[in-house]
Amino acid sequence: MPDKPIYSDPNFWQGAAAIVALVLSQLPPIKRWFKRAKLEVECFDRMALKHDVGAAAAELHLTLTNTGGADVRIKKISLNFTRGTERRELDARGYYEKSTDKQATLFTPVTLKPKESWGYNVNFFKFATREVRQEYSTHAHALRMDVVRKVAERNANQQQRPNGDLVEADPALVAPLIVLFDAQFFWRTGEYQIELVIETDKPYANTSRNFRCTLFEGDSERLRVHRDHLKYGNGVFYHEYPVEPYIAEILPAA
């Protein structure tokens, strides 16, 4: 009689099954091979609203977690504010690695592995055009030099007993910055619709969240009063009270 085929021997299949089980035990679970990247977004319920000589900016604590089964690269994060017909699109430009940091770390694309999280206070603003940046730099420098000179002269005249009163720059040097502030100021009274958008290297993993916040007249005025302190250089080359952010409550979109 001819020999039986090897595949008809039960011992063959038992051995094959053992080999397959051993190989699979050394590999990640098969289900993860087919699981896609997925971002989970957590936001703090308060947001700092601020500005740079009127140009809108914001700071928000974000935690992004890759709950999927594949790596995902976060390429861009943006906050879009809409009030009536006005809109500002602000991009993530920096983040604070520690709560005590004074200087933000530059935001660059970051890759999250499965189950990995990224959470920081993130700064959002929009770069001005080259012309506006150049104009601002020229006027800010002139104002600073004028204030520094006047402070030095005052202190010299006080003979080791400097007066702590604020020193005002010449009105002609302040005027261009006032004009720039008025042209750029955005944080006016009203209700704001806010959209947080996260873009990745995998379009299916892109995600967004929608919020709202309300600025009452007094809230807006706390930010607008910064205008009155430009003449001292406060908000230009240094920042002290009352030039500070306004902490707004953000709520889920209605």
Percentage of the chain modeled with pLDDT above 90: 76
Percentage of the chain modeled with pLDDT above 70: 84
Condensed to tens digits (0 to 9), the pLDDT of residues 98-156 reads 878 888 999 999 999 999 999 999 999 999 999 999 999 999 999 999 999 999 988 88
**CA-CA distance, 38 to 206, in Å (whole number)?**
8
Count of residues for the chain?
A: 254
Going by C-alpha positions, the residue among 98, 92, 89 that lies closest to residue 120 is 98
Q: Which of 4-8, 58-62, 179-183 has the lowest mean pLDDT?
A: 4-8
pLDDT band at 19 (very low <50, low <70, confident <90, very high): low
Given the structure tokens 């011992």, which residue do they identify? 11
Can you give the pLDDT at residue 33? Answer: 47
Report the CATH superfamily, name and number, of domain 33-128+183-252.
Answer: Immunoglobulins (2.60.40.10)
Paired residues of 122 in beta bridges: 60, 95
Q: Under a CB-based contact definition with an 8 Å cutoff, are residues 200 and 72 in contact?
A: yes
Residue 199 has pLDDT above 90, yes or no: yes
- If one compares 19 and 6, the residue with the highest pLDDT of the two is 19
Q: Under a CB-based contact definition with an 8 Å cutoff, are residues 113 and 66 in contact?
A: yes
pLDDT band at 35 (very low <50, low <70, confident <90, very high): confident
Going by C-alpha positions, the residue among 58, 40, 32 that lies closest to residue 121 is 58
3-state SS, residue 49: strand
Q: Which of 7-21, 55-69, 123-137, 201-215 has the lowest mean pLDDT?
A: 7-21
pLDDT band at 5 (very low <50, low <70, confident <90, very high): low
Can you give the pLDDT at residue 155? Answer: 82
Residue type, 51: H
Q: Under a CB-based contact definition with an 8 Å cutoff, are residues 242 and 229 in contact?
A: yes
Can you give the pLDDT at residue 30? Answer: 52
Across 59-88, average pLDDT:
96
For the beta carbon of residue 2, count every other beta carbon within 10 angstroms: 4
Condensed to tens digits (0 to 9), the pLDDT of residues 240-254 reads 999 999 999 999 997
Can you give the pLDDT at residue 215? Answer: 97
Going by C-alpha positions, the residue among 141, 93, 124, 103 that lies closest to residue 237 is 141
Can you give the pLDDT at residue 162? Answer: 55
Condensed to tens digits (0 to 9), the pLDDT of residues 73-82 reads 999 999 999 9
The chain-wide mean pLDDT, for the chain, equals: 89
For the beta carbon of residue 76, count every other beta carbon within 10 angstroms: 13
Q: Where are the beta strands (DSSP E) in 46-164?
A: 46-52, 55-66, 72-83, 86-96, 105-106, 110-112, 117-125
Condensed to tens digits (0 to 9), the pLDDT of residues 229-238 reads 999 999 999 9
pLDDT band at 157 (very low <50, low <70, confident <90, very high): confident
Q: Under a CB-based contact definition with an 8 Å cutoff, are residues 98 and 31 in contact?
A: no
Burial class (CB in 10 A: 0-12, 13-18, 19+), 74: buried
For the beta carbon of residue 205, count every other beta carbon within 10 angstroms: 20
This prediction has a pTM of 0.82
Q: Examine residue 242 and say whether the peptide bond preceding it is cis (omega within 30 degrees of 0).
A: yes
Can you give the pLDDT at residue 13? Answer: 57
